[in-house]
Amino acid sequence: MSHPMLHAARDAVLQPPAVPPETWQATAAAPGGAQSAPRPSAANRTAPVQTEGCAAVEASLTAEGVVAGAGIAGIAGAAGPARRGPPDPLAADGSRAALPGIDAPERRTVLHVDIDAFFAAIEQRRDPRLQGRPVIVGAGVIASCSYEARAFGLRAGMPLSEARRLCPQAVILDGHAQVYRCFAEEIFARCRAIAPEVEAYLDEAYCDLSGTERLHGGLIEKVRELKLGILEATGLSVTCGIGPNRMLAKLIGKTVKPDGLARIGAAEADAFLRDRPIEQLAGVGHAHAKTLRSMNLRTIGELRALSAEVLVALFGANGRLLYERCCGRDTATVDEREIPRSISRETSFHRDTADPAEIDGMLEYLVGRACRTARELGIKPRTVAVRLRYSDGEGCERARGLGQPSDADPVVLALALDLLRRQFTRRVALHHLGVTLSSFVRCEGEQGALFDEPEAGRRAALFRAFDGVRRAYGHGVLVSGRALQLRGRLEEDRHGFVLRTPSLTK
């Protein structure tokens, strides 16, 4: 639980000090002289950022820009000569005049913490023989790879067959999801010690530091201490970005990976975003990027030149959100209790299989894990999706809505099995199976049925009891139904069956 002083400081909305005149600043401090991970190649680093109307700044990410012997990869913002143009947004009284379209009704400060090459870095720490070698974690596709592997062009989501072709010497590991979870919990616990609100995911977290700068005595120094504490406790490096909202905090952090620390203010957002590729904008996936590039739109600045109405015409309601983000605006808050968009549990079979008993058993096990997570979050799904991938690489997916939101294993499983039957029609073995729950509603806000079955209440109490036992003794202590077919086929530990999964789901 966060310290009450942090909440008090945030609620008081203390006036932060004036933003320094640099277009954006980054630190390359090296507490303790720890050796950092290899930096990405120069070709993948950010190009210089030029501004007009502000002090010209070259955000150099070349090797020459790194402080010699620093040990932590970072960059330094160097102010250049003033350029002709509109007045600098730094007012005479030392305050910042917000750029049009970027101002926010309240001052916010968000810290984004990203664990560098998370799964691969842990495997290198657990086995010193892997230090300096290209390491891949995943089955079927890459879930994570070390920076040594990325130098060969490897990336998350790439099929292992292609990864082996590009980097034959890579060490490929299945991964240990529970080990990674323990490391993540240690890191995020340290984040909660300095932030009133922390929204944590598998390998990253957003921390709301609004109003805490005076309490901490300077956010840059406090975050530098956080990085050092994480490095000493876990042996892992993290990259930190500080910004006026979630989107900018994450984007500025990406420019200083790995093991970097950078900060950007609201007044610097326009110049920072202008020349960035559209793919870096949150919400622009492969399909959107393809559409935009077909219109000869390649940068966020070019996208911003379009009106919000044009983007709405192209992408519907999501178009207005894209326009807001082009302007540097992101109203999403840091919320530990935020409803996730989806909960997925998936795995690759140890051996491709067409055995109905094994496939049904695996589906029931995955549904049980997903439903347990939903119950722990206090949410119920309205939609269930099942996806398959055959041994020949062909894949398919189907989704359907539940008649009534439900987090009960039997209700979700019945629909999932029907979706499986409708898809698994080829006489080809399955390589991969996954289930996704989505369209959630909070349990307290759920609209109940007029004639609820008495059995539903007893069933809910039963699964709450199951969850309590599993929290105390591990998920693997209770296995039921079709999932019993997996016993003897898969290894087990107290956390359940040991799966091969590219997403390393729990």
Q: Which residues pair with 347 in a beta bridge?
A: 433
Residue located via tokens 């060490």: 171
Amino acid at 213: E
Distance CA 79, CA 28 (A): 16
**Lookup: tokens for 371:** 């439903």
**Closest among 306, 247, 312, 231 to 280, alpha carbons compared:** 247
Question: Hey, which residues are catalytic here?
Answer: 204
Residue 15's alpha-carbon distances to 26, 95, 109, in angstroms, are 22, 11, 11
Phi, psi dihedral angles at 152 (to 5 degrees): -95, 5
409 is in an annotated binding site: no
| Sheet of strand 144-145: strand arrangement | 144-145, 135-137, 171-173
Residue 482's nearest CA partner among 428, 410, 415 is: 410
3-state SS string over 407-468?
Answer: CCHHHHHHHHHHHHHHHCCCCCCEEEEEEEEECCEEHHHCCCCCCCCHHHHHHHHHHHHHHH
Q: Please tell me whether 203 is known to bind a ligand.
A: yes
The number of residues in the chain equals: 506
Instruction: List binding-site positions for Mg(2+).
Output: 114, 203
Instruction: List binding-site positions.
Output: 114, 203
